Amino acid sequence: MKIIMLGAPGAGKGTQAKMIAEKFGVPHISTGDIFRANIKEGTELGIEAKKYMDQGLLVPDELTVKILLDRVAKEDCAGGYVLDGFPRTIPQAEVLDAALDKLNEKIDYAVNVDVPDENIVKRMSGRRACLKCGATFHIEHIPPKQEGICDSCGGELVLRDDDKQETVQNRLKVYHDQTQPLIDYYAKKGVLKSVDGTVEMQKVFQSISDIIK
Ligand code: AMP
């Protein structure tokens, strides 16, 4: 089962992606997480990616595509995967399709978690991420058990640089310009499924579960 999650930054696609991955027993692959891990480790890729991420811009396709293709070629992806945050541009989608074509494989579903911009800005300012393990919370919707402390690893929770208001506005612009066209792209391929992402997290998950059998 190969699933792509689409949606604006902050639409909740990461949370849903993790839940789907768990349900189907396939890896959850987030290019954002891979970049953040590289930033933390101070790798060359991390240093390069950070320049773009801090401004709310996309990391160039050449860098992003390579790390994604390397990741999906790993053994644990043989039974499928849930992609969260990739593709984000039409060229990225085309490269992925070409790689899958060679293997006689295809994407089964592109799930679009639909949330209007005004909700996004409100949501992102309440988001908190763990400095240590990357888990995300929300001060209203998914509060940690103890304020400022990660439930999973006890690390410190912070407002990520790329969730700050000015960066969020940039990310939304970038989303509309470069990522939204993917909705049409996957609709034309007949694999697009849209769900209302404004409702409660469990309800969003139920709608997705009804679609993916
Ligand atoms: P995310 O955690 O998915 O919201 O990603 C955080 C940031 O990482 C984005 O704002 C981009 O700067 C970068 N990023 C993640 N995935 C991609 C991608 N597929 N293409 C380009 N940049 C990406």
Residue 167 domain-assigned (yes or no): no
Residue 75: the pLDDT is 96
Are the beta carbons of 121 and 59 closer than 8 angstroms?
Answer: no
**What tokens were used for 30?**
């987030």
- Reported pTM: 0.88
The full length of the chain comes to 213
Backbone angles phi, psi at 116, to 5 degrees: -65, 155
Residue 201 domain-assigned (yes or no): yes
Distances (CA, A) of 64 to 80, 114, 131, 146, 185: 19, 24, 22, 35, 19
- Tell me the CA–centroid distance for residue 25 and ligand 1, in Å: 24
Looking up tokens 């994407």 gives 107
Active site residue 127: yes
Residue 142 domain-assigned (yes or no): no
Residue 182 domain-assigned (yes or no): yes
Window from 15-29, 66-80, 153-167, 195-209 with minimum mean pLDDT: 153-167
pLDDT digits (tens, 9 = 90+) for 24-65: 999 999 999 999 999 999 999 999 999 999 888 999 999 999
Confidence band for 123, pLDDT divided at 50, 70 and 90: confident
CATH of the domain at 183: 3.40.50.300
- Domain total for the chain? 1
Give CA–CA dist 151/130, Å, rounded.
9
Residues of the domain holding 41: 2-115+172-212
Residue 9 domain-assigned (yes or no): yes
Residue 21 domain-assigned (yes or no): yes
Say yes or no: CB of residue 178 within 6 Å of ligand 1: no
Give CA–CA dist 53/20, Å, rounded.
26
Say yes or no: CB of residue 38 within 6 Å of ligand 1: no
